[in-house]
Structure 1
Amino acid sequence: MRFTCINVGYGDSFLLECEDSVILVDGGSALDSEFTDSSCRIRSADYLIKAGIKHIDTLIITHIHEDHAAGLAAVCNRIPVKKVLIPYAPKLFKNRIIPPAHENAPENVTLFAQALYRFTDIMQLCESRGIPVEEISAGMNIPAGNLQIRVLGPAEKDKNAFIEGLRNFFSAPPEEQQSKWFPYLDRISNAASLLLKISNKDIHLLLCADNCPANWDRSIFPLLKNVTVLKLPHHGQKDAVDEKIMAMMNPDYILTTASSDRRHNSADPAVYKMLTELYAPNKQPVFLFSDGINYEPYFSREKPFQAIRISFGENGSSPEFVDV
């Protein structure tokens, strides 16, 4: 199995390749500003094309936020996709028209409106091309060739709250959509994002999107003990970790999708101080950061890179920093 974290700046995009399956989880941002000022960041669609990816067997969209979902519109237009998995019923988005946010709306609300528009566009594109879209929920175990996708979250209450918010948004008058439902949906989308454990034999990836430990159902805790790669939720902000829950795991790698400017307090130093104190010196995980070269004392590289690729084989694993 090969796991690749694409450097999309502040955002998530992960490629998993096995003998008979190619999975893409999220696609990063579609904002020009995310890529114009960096020599190493790359749009997910561009990376996949340069890396020679001819098709995607399973595309997973963890939630509706610009830095996770918006870049996937370009992916779907450039690379054949066989199946899409989302945490909502696809019929919710059928024949929907998403307005832009008001000009004076806060930036986060504007970005959420853009993400909802692009997500809806992807759903309509899938319908027009006959690409199956399936709703997935906590408790499901989904085979994907030699990979197994186990859905650990979101918790039912958080999922239901977001779906009910979507229904209210679609039925509300325009001014109420702008003043109430755009901000509300943006605020609760993280808690409603997919929490995934993807496994191949004894390799287990925990991909948390922006679903933070405070929202996790206690019933999943026994499934955390054998995690090999932990993708920290919420870009390594303070709410990304819970000491008791992190102590259940002893991963080989801890990956953070922070931006090099540590925007929105991503890659918060307190997070890594706590993690290094949590694990014994001889069991310290390898810390990886998707963007930038200097997160001392935890991570440092001489040259920028467009992706981190970890290949797992009989002789173990080691990260490779890729510039395609």
Structure 2
Amino acid sequence: MLTVDFINVGYGDAILIRDLETDFSMLVDCGDMTTGNPGPESARITASDFLEQAGIQRLDLLVLTHLHRDHSGGLTELLKKVHVQEFWTNYLPARTYWGKTVRIPSEFSAGARCLLESMNIYLSALCSMEQSGTKIHLKSVRNEMRGLSRALRAEIYLEDPTLHQRQADIWRDVLEDRADNAELDELDRFINNTSIRLRLFYGEKTIELPGDVYADCWEQHQISPCTIVKLPHHGHRDSVTPRLLDMLAPEYVVISVSNTRTDDCPAASVLDTVQKRNCHLYITDAVERPNFVECRHRAVHFSIDPAGQIASPRAAH
């Protein structure tokens, strides 16, 4: 039995995948430092608290798709409660910088400061994981297949290698105390497209987890159909196009997003594209949108049995 929980961390991603037959557990991203201020009736929960309540003290694999804080900010609290066996990342600084702290100039833009905060969380996390014996792996091959458990395997994709090199150059300047606001703003504009994109296979069922890769970046490929897709970039208008969704042809679509966003997220155009294709749509937070039922839940939960039958997806309360 495979279970997949798209955790309601507010505006961010945290996805828990478990193969119950082999006691394999992996987490893709870990949300932000907090879940924000959603109000007393909210069911938002941090990734670390969700795992703790599920009784998970060990992760066989932790994947950080990219270094935006809404995907990496939860690392600090997560590593206090959970031992990570193996860690995948798309960027790995030189070992000499692990555990160090970079300056965050107050005059820098909000996006630049947020990236620097994410880097400080990341440097501390790398040091912590090394000390606890985690196997840390940089993913730099554009296409790779990896077995995860007896029944679960992953295809790993990376997009434009020039973006990964540019990311490394900008971070090198930061780590050498030459941080430049304009360069960090540039990184903030393209870092989503450096995301590790995962496709998980369990029997004949497939789960597409693309991080925040914009639709126009990966729809240029021939994409095979999938069973479940988590839309990238929280349902922003750049997250999916009719062409990409037609290739994916998913039965289920999940959007991980806060219900307090004021920037058309999830975008009305995206919801229209999904609903016109009769996909089953689930949103992690209690988003109010036309023709969509508001739900307050801790996670959107799927379970798939070895024969490939999907139990009716439900909210994990």
TM-score (norm 1): 0.88
The residue type equivalent to 1:254 in the other structure is V
Q: 1:5 maps to what in 2?
A: 6
The residue type equivalent to 2:199 in the other structure is K
Q: 1:78 maps to what in 2?
A: 81
Do the aligned residues in 1 keep the contact of 2:97 with 2:175 (CA within 8 Å)?
no
**Aligned counterpart for 2:173 among listed residues 168, 172, 175:** 168
Q: Any runs of at least 4 consecutive aligned residues in structure 1 with deviations exceeding 4 A, and if so which?
A: 34-38
- C-alpha separation between the residues in 2 aligned to 1:42 and 1:226? 31
1:218-249 Cα distance to aligned partner (Å, 9 max, x none): 4x42xx32311111111100111122222112
Spell out the pairing of 1:282-293 with structure 2 (5 A cutoff): 284-293=278-287
Do the aligned residues in 2 keep the contact of 1:155 with 1:216 (CA within 8 Å)?
no
- How far residue 126 of structure 1 moved from its aligned partner, in angstroms, is 1.4
Q: Please, what is the CA RMSD of the aligned residues?
A: 2.1
1:269-289 Cα distance to aligned partner (Å, 9 max, x none): 011212333x2xxxx110010
Pair 1:34–1:141, CA change in 2 (3 A)? farther
**Aligned counterpart for 2:303 among listed residues 298, 311, 314:** 311
Could you tell me which runs of 5 or more consecutive residues in structure 1 were left unpaired when the two chains were aligned: none
Spell out the pairing of 1:30-69 with structure 2 (5 A cutoff): 30-31=33-34, 33-34=36-37, 39-69=42-72
1:248-302 Cα distance to aligned partner (Å, 9 max, x none): 121111111121023443200011212333x2xxxx11001011153331x314x
- C-alpha separation between the residues in 2 aligned to 1:237 and 1:312? 28
Spell out the pairing of 1:39-188 with structure 2 (5 A cutoff): 39-89=42-92, 91=94, 94-95=97-98, 97-137=100-140, 138-145=142-149, 146-173=151-178, 177-188=179-190
- C-alpha separation between the residues in 1 aligned to 2:53 and 2:99? 34
- C-alpha separation between the residues in 1 aligned to 2:312 and 2:96? 41
* 1:213 equivalent in alignment to 2:206: no
Pair 1:110–1:266, CA change in 2 (3 A)? same
- C-alpha separation between the residues in 1 aligned to 2:259 and 2:209? 21
- C-alpha separation between the residues in 1 aligned to 2:313 and 2:219? 31
The residue type equivalent to 1:242 in the other structure is T
TM-score (norm 2): 0.90
Q: In structure 2, the residue corresponding to 1:23 is in which secondary structure? A: strand
The residue type equivalent to 2:73 in the other structure is A
Do the aligned residues in 2 keep the contact of 1:168 with 1:181 (CA within 8 Å)?
no
- C-alpha separation between the residues in 2 aligned to 1:116 and 1:162? 12
Pair 1:34–1:80, CA change in 2 (3 A)? farther
1:165-187 Cα distance to aligned partner (Å, 9 max, x none): 222332353xxx14233323322
Pair 1:37–1:108, CA change in 2 (3 A)? farther
Higher mean C-alpha deviation, range 28-37 or range 260-269 = 28-37
The structure where helix makes up a greater share of residues is 1
- C-alpha separation between the residues in 2 aligned to 1:227 and 1:113? 35
Could you tell me which runs of 5 or more consecutive residues in structure 2 were left unpaired when the two chains were aligned: none
- How far residue 77 of structure 1 moved from its aligned partner, in angstroms, is 1.5
The residue type equivalent to 2:154 in the other structure is I
- How far residue 154 of structure 1 moved from its aligned partner, in angstroms, is 2.8
Do the aligned residues in 2 keep the contact of 1:169 with 1:181 (CA within 8 Å)?
no
- How far residue 133 of structure 1 moved from its aligned partner, in angstroms, is 0.4
- How far residue 217 of structure 1 moved from its aligned partner, in angstroms, is 7.1
Q: In structure 1, the residue corresponding to 2:66 is in which secondary structure? A: coil
- C-alpha separation between the residues in 2 aligned to 1:184 and 1:97? 23
Do the aligned residues in 2 keep the contact of 1:9 with 1:34 (CA within 8 Å)?
no
Q: 1:203 maps to what in 2?
A: 205
- C-alpha separation between the residues in 2 aligned to 1:60 and 1:37? 31
